[in-house]
Structure 1
Amino acid sequence: MAENPKPNDNQNPKKTIPPYMKAFAGSIGGIVEASCLQPIDVIKTRLQLDRSNTYKGIIHCGKTVSKTEGVRALWKGLTPFATHLTLKYALRMGSNAVLQTAFKDSQTGAISNRGRLLSGFGAGVLEALVIVTPFEVVKIRLQQQKGLSPELLKYKGPIHCARMIIREEGILGLWAGAAPTVMRNGTNQAAMFTAKNAFDVLLWKKHEGDGRTLQPWQSMVSGFLAGTAGPVCTGPFDVVKTRLMAQSRSGGDVKYKGMVHAIRTIFAEEGLLALWKGLLPRLMRIPPGQAIMWGVADQVTGFYERTYLQSAPL
């Protein structure tokens, strides 16, 4: 009598981590990242807005801000930054997981590099429009203010800042710089998700869904390496985004009319390298930030996989 054939993968599909769990893991990683790296983000913003060469570099900028405004000034905008990162990573990780499901091969469950790139780009565009742009507008407006005395500041906090922008510039004022933000985030996430998976496989022989959980330091190495390419490629978009978000439309005319006009103006007035202003603090913030986020997120998803997937009967 012939033996019954063994069930194949299509009859017993491998259980995968649901998108909502990846979203939760990303949000936890975002909270930890924001708390650790906010000072670098403040310095990056100040350098990008510096047209008169007040700051001589990263260290000089940090010392100047601490000396003239107090150490607490290096954590300006932390509340919107932490909230922004928490929501951004939840949306990024969750939407990327959903999009990857759509691009997976129906027979094998595998996803191509093209599918990873498109999933990452789609997740980046979504996060840029829904979360990143309005939160960064508020964050940058708060960070560019000098001093800590509330009576001398135009914006008293994130909620007050958002209300002032809406009252003076309309609701679309919260989406200033949306175009370069979409380009920056879409490109960044397309590269980051693809590179993270590639480094996991190359360095640690870790394949998605294989049941293994990387050590935190391994996840951090992969995350750090995956986070390095984006800032170099998207530097001009980030500078333009910051300039567009920082300018207020309440006074009538604005210096930069849009993304292309801003690129041309900065190039004409300040030179080509000005389009990469703040690159070093970005490299000091983004790769370590990705290292921290992935170090936390991989542990959260790994715990879920060990607890609820491997122990569950197929």
Structure 2
Amino acid sequence: MASGPPRPSSDPDRKRTIPVYMKAVSGSLGGTVEACCLQPIDVIKTRLQLDKSGAYKGIAHCGATIARTEGVRALWKGLTPFATHLTLKYTLRMWSNAVLQSAFKDPETGKLTNRARLLSGFGAGVLEALVIVTPFEVVKIRLQQQRGLSPELLKYKGPIHCARTIIREEGLRGLWAGAAPTVMRNGTNQAAMFTAKNAFDVLLWKKHEGDGKVLQPWQSMISGFLAGTAGPVCTGPFDVVKTRLMAQSRHGGELKYKGMVHAIQTIFKEEGLLALWKGLLPRLMRIPPGQAIMWAVADQVIGFYERKFLIDAPV
């Protein structure tokens, strides 16, 4: 007998489940669209976080300066690793979160508690940080901190050349610089984001997973935007420290920052408390809109599956 997509149970009280692979596909497509739309804000955020001399007066001044002195294309520096990174990250994030949620669900009722949702999100964030985010962000940040567009003047000629150079000069560990703050940042972010997204869907739109109701893109964008706001404020210091650790090279000199705790202490001592939240505004300009874009795409993909295979399919 031919097998096909899961059919809904004849028990109306049993919660319909969306396959893990569909969550992964939805995240992949959402990440690709997000990367193309929001790369310039990420470049500006990185430049602001690395600016120790006050060369940039703010977001608008930073963007205008980059465009004027390096060309508009410079605002999309690092797009290839950024887009690849986001696509793979969201694929792994949505897949691992779905797997963990399935493991934490009550076997009798199929319900998921808020604590289980938080733990699932945190686990997904830790996994993506170690497997994908850290090495891709090291390459992205090294490319973004270079000034100018002339290849002959740049140390790193592109993503692959950058990765090879880091491995040759600093060893394989160089691609995992800043792993500790990245784990803390991503774990906390995803724990909050998945829990908040579900809560806003239920609170604002009375949407429950598997109920067949497909949110309009603007509804998904509102829920995603709101869910994406808390993380950047809470994890600002981890993000600044991550950027500083990833940007410094182990080749040909002593490392200024010895690790996450030492970096926090050094930045606080030399630049003050607010320096630990450098780049917060561009993060808030990028992450909540990014979540809005990603969820608008992901919810439509998942909604299509729900309509076609969970609701319309015969029992």
Shorter-chain TM-score tier: over 0.9
Contact 1:34 1:78 in 2 (8 A): yes
Which amino acid is the alignment partner of residue 66 of structure 1? A
Equivalent-residue separation in structure 1 for 2:210 and 2:252 (angstroms): 54
String of CA shifts for 1:63-116, please: whole Å, max 9, x gaps: 000000000000000000000000000000010000000011111111000000
CA distance in 2, matches of 1:203, 1:309: 23
2:302 matched to 1:301?
yes
Q: Provide the residue aligned with 1:270 in structure 2.
A: 271
Does the aligned pair in 2 maintain the 1:9–1:108 contact within 8 Å? no
Q: 1:65 maps to what in 2?
A: 66
Distance (Å, rounded) in 2 between the aligned partners of 1:113 and 1:77? 37
* Aligned counterparts, 1:1-314, within 5 A: 8=11, 13-314=14-315
Q: Quote how far apart the aligned CAs of 1:311 are.
A: 2.6
Deviations along 1:105-150, one digit per CA (max 9) or x if unpaired, are: 1111110000000000000000000000000000000000000000
Q: Structure 1: where are the runs of 5+ without partners?
A: 1-6
Q: Which runs of 5+ in 2 are unaligned?
A: 1-9
Distance 1:187 1:141 in 2: 25
User: In structure 2, how many angstroms separate the alpha carbons of the residues matched to 1:174 and 1:312?
Assistant: 47
Q: If the length of structure 1 is used for normalisation, what is the TM-score? A: 0.96
1:208 CA displacement: 1.5
2:16, 2:211 within 8 Å by CA — same for their partners in 1? no
How far is the alpha carbon of 1:170 from its aligned partner?
0.3
Which secondary structure state, in structure 1, belongs to the residue aligned with residue 235 of structure 2? helix
Which residue in 2 is equivalent to 1:4?
none
Aligned-partner SS, 1:312:
coil
- Mapped to 2, the partners of 1:120 and 1:313 lie a distance apart of 33
Between the aligned partners of 1:218 and 1:159, the Cα distance in structure 2 is 39
Q: CA shift at 1:14, angstroms?
A: 3.9
C-alpha distance after superposition, 1:188-207 (max 9, x if no partner) = 00000000000001111111
Q: Which runs of 4+ in 1 moved over 3 A?
A: 7-10
Identity %: 84
Take 2:296 and 2:157, find their aligned partners in 1: how far apart are those partners? Answer: 35
Q: Once superposed, what is the RMSD of the aligned Cα atoms?
A: 1.2
Counterparts of 2:110 and 2:213 in 1: how far apart (Å)? 18
Give the C-alpha shift of residue 8 in structure 1.
4.7
Contact 2:210/2:310 (<8 A) preserved: no
Deviations 1:268-288 (A, max 9, x none): 000000000000000000000
Q: Please, what TM-score do these two structures have when normalized by structure 2?
A: 0.96
> Tell me, what secondary structure is at the counterpart of 2:249?
coil
Deviation digits for residues 8-43 of structure 1 (CA, Å, limit 9, x no counterpart) = 568xx4431111111000010000000000000000
How far 1:312 sits from its partner (Å)? 2.7
Task: Give distance in 1, aligned partners of 2:12 and 2:163.
Answer: 51
In 2, Cα distance between equivalents of 1:312 and 1:128: 38
Which residue identity is paired with 2:225?
Answer: F
Aligned equivalents of 1:196 and 1:226: distance in 2? 5
How many residues are treated as equivalent by the alignment? 307
Which residue type is aligned with residue 278 of structure 2?
K
